[in-house]
Structure 1
Amino acid sequence: MRQYYKWFTGAMASAVILAACSKDDKDESTPPARNYNKLITVSNFNGDTTTSKTVIYYSLEQEKAGSPRNLKSADWDVAFGGNANSSISGNYGADVDENTTAGKGGPGKGGVLIIGKPFDQVTRVPDGAVFITTSGGVGLDTAGMFGTTTGWCVYDFAGVLRATKGIGGNNATTQKHTVWARPDRTIIVRTASGNYAKLKITSMYKEAPAEPVTGTERPYFHFQYVLAAPGSKDFTIK
């Protein structure tokens, strides 16, 4: 009887340890449940601060930072890089172009495109959408300095864009070299797993001041997004 008791006690202790390990493993690897077709808000996102970086990464599906140590994986969906971290690109692993994403060689199916509509007016992925899969992604708009195409933000080199473009700074003394999000733009993201999200970036400055100045800390991204359910291109919030 004594031997049976010892065996039973040991077996129960092992079961508790295994259950705890299983729970920890599940918590670490399982993405948030049912985060599709919901408005998700992120504030002051500064990436993985445990490593030195110039590009920062985020997983829309897992709602967390992606680590620069794990680029060739589906651990991230969007990268914030380029000039002042203004270039938003997707996680695409099969790209053979010279201008490849950080995910080259990995399993990522991602990409980005930009639409000239406010976030609330974008209800689904447009028919015939062509996604950008290279590291340039979408970034600075031609309304500001260094912009080469339609972008999600403007770079106000002189701090006077508000007077001429209606967006940007209005004080050449304090607002030179500031970056301003365009409220009339929406980014569509194809995630690393091949699902879709619509994304609106509102600021890249710490605490998102209405009037950032030249020395305001960045990049601290503020954004909202809605993930379409797997197999769907519909962003209707439910």
Structure 2
Amino acid sequence: MRILTVAVLLGLCCSCTKNNNATDAPDVVSVVIKDLPGDTAARMGTGGSMSFKTVYFNLDSGKAVTITDADKATTKWDLAFTGPYNSEVYVNYGGYQYNPGYGGPGKGAVLQIEKPYQEVTTAPSDADFSKTTLTKIGWESGSNGGWFFYSMDNHIAVPIKNRTFVIRTATGKYAKLELLNVYKGNPPVVTDLYWPSPYLNFRYFIQADGSRSLRTQ
């Protein structure tokens, strides 16, 4: 079982633009988040910590949000970035005991789509969302729900190309999400374990009118 989680951090900041990643075709409706700081005090590797504080994110506002224990079981957040490098992402779903929003009203669900971001134009049916067993987006280990490859030898996360995640948000809207990187500057290649991280880079489109249309071109 996999889930999506986003952690709480003090001093969070994010940069939102109306452009796609530089390598992609122009897109005037997606939100691009560049170098959103995760728990930059935590470290991986020999002698490092595996415990990274969660970062929570609200898709409607396009901002990271501070979530207290009392706020977890609410619809104030949509994504929770948890785990090593804040790379494991939960959607806000109140019906799963290991979800940060457990016991709350969150309607979140997520499906993995093997298509480039721009080619995902319609959200699946609620029946498809209800059948999903995907509970977290994270490390690709040969099963559904991975957005990056990770080596225990070099402790470097490598994003998977052309994989998109379609989300039902905490309040029941539909969105698509592409997770781009956990390293500062969204570098095409990382060879240094000590490259500044985690700095979350991702883009998404949320359909404000509640429909299933996710077309961004």
Q: Percent of pairs identical after alignment? A: 35
The 8 Å contact of residues 32 and 204 in structure 2, kept in 1 or not, is answered as yes
Does the CA contact (< 8 Å) of 1:101 and 1:134 recur in 2? no
- Superposition TM-score, scaled by structure 1 size: 0.65
Letter in 2 for 1:121: E
Partner in structure 1 of residue 101 of structure 2: 103
Structure 1 residues 187 and 178: alpha-carbon distance in aligned structure 2, compared to 1, 3 A threshold: same
Q: TM-score, normalised by structure 2?
A: 0.71
Write out aligned runs for 1:47-196 (5 A).
Answer: 54-69=53-68, 70-93=71-94, 95=95, 97-98=96-97, 100-127=98-125, 128-130=127-129, 136-142=135-141, 148-158=143-153, 176-196=154-174
Instruction: Give distance in 1, aligned partners of 2:36 and 2:133.
Output: 23
Tell me the distance in 2 between the aligned counterparts of 1:135 and 1:115: 12
Change in CA separation of 1:195 and 1:235 when aligned onto 2, cut-off 3 Å: same
Instruction: Give, in whole Å, the separation in 2 of the partners of 1:68 and 1:53.
Output: 15
Query: What is the Cα deviation at residue 155 of structure 1?
Result: 0.6
1:146-182 deviation digits (Å, cap 9, x = unpaired):
x543511111333xxxxxxxxxxxxxxxxx1111111
For structure 1, which runs of at least 5 residues remain unmatched after alignment? 1-36, 159-175
Q: Which runs of 5+ in 2 are unaligned?
A: 1-27, 41-50
Provide the rounded CA distance (Å) in 1 between the counterparts of 2:182 and 2:132: 23
Which structure: greater helix fraction? 1
Distance 1:54 1:132 in 2: 30
The CA RMSD over aligned residues, in Å, is: 2.7
Query: Does structure 1 conserve the Cα–Cα contact (< 8 Å) formed by 2:52 and 2:86?
Result: no
Pick the structure with more strand per residue.
Answer: 2
Deviation of 1:85 (Å): 2.4
| Alignment partner, residue 236 of structure 1 | 215
The structure with more radius of gyration: 1
Match of 2:35 in 1: 44
